[in-house]
Structures are given as C-alpha cells and as structure tokens.
Amino acid sequence: MHELSIAMSIVDMAQEEAERRKVHIGAVHLELGALSGVVKEALLFSYKVACDGTPLEGSRLVVKDVPIEVYCPVCKVPRILASMQWFCCPDCGTQTPEVIHGKELVITALELKQ
C-alpha cells in the first residue's frame, strides 16, 4: 500500500514545518485529485498510523477532493468530467486530452492547535 509511504511523507513534512515554526499541528489540509493514483480512504487510515508516536498524533488529515477538469478544444472552456473512463467534453462530446486539474496531491495548509 503506497498510501502509507505517502502518509509518512506528509507527516514528516508537517512535522518539519511545525518544528521550524515552533507550533503544534491540529490538522493537515490536502488536495487530492481523482487521477492522483491515491485511494482516499487508505490515505486517511495510513495517516493515523503514520502519526502514531509523533508530535502529530491526534491530528486530522482534511482531504479536499479535486475532480478531473479538462480543456475542451471545441467549446474552448474548461469542463469537469463526469467519469474518469471517458475523456470527452460532457457538453459537446469532443475528446479532451488536456487535463487541467485532477492529478493533485498537495498539502495546502497546516491548521495550528492552541
């Protein structure tokens, strides 16, 4: 399960930042794209395991799901895909290979604990 190694990296990065700023972390906020290759539920479970015995023990991992957004060359606007099986514009049906969003795996914020 590669989610555990990802969770361990998230914990390490958050812990380094907390030590650098001399703060305590209550939550780590993350954007997770549908095409990231990461299973959200496995990552949430792995985060709790990775936090055990660290200063982040008891903190939360808050995940914002990022849908697949592509650019339609015919409509000339970004579109959200209804399914990751069909990379076609949901309005005009044109194949849309240009992915704008959906591959994210990004820490966006650290929530401090009082």
| Token pair belonging to 96 | 């849309």
- pLDDT value, residue 91: 93
Annotated binding residue 75: yes
- pLDDT value, residue 82: 86
Digit-by-digit pLDDT tens for the chain (114 residues) are: 699 999 999 999 999 999 999 999 999 999 999 999 999 999 999 999 999 999 999 999 999 999 999 999 999 999 999 888 889 999 999 999 899 999 999 999 999 987
| CA atoms of 16 and 78, how far apart (whole Å) | 37
Q: How would you classify the pairing of strands 60-66 and 25-33?
A: parallel
Q: Look up the CATH architecture of domain 2-66+101-112.
A: 2-Layer Sandwich (3.30)
Single out the residue of 64, 57, 46, 75 nearest to residue 113, CA to CA: 57
- pLDDT value, residue 1: 60
Annotated binding residue 88: no
Number of H helices, E strands in the chain: 2, 6
- pLDDT value, residue 86: 87
CB burial class (10 A; 0-12, 13-18, 19+) of residue 65?
exposed
Extents of the domains making up the chain = 2-66+101-112
**3-state secondary structure (DSSP) of residue 82:** coil
- pLDDT value, residue 83: 86
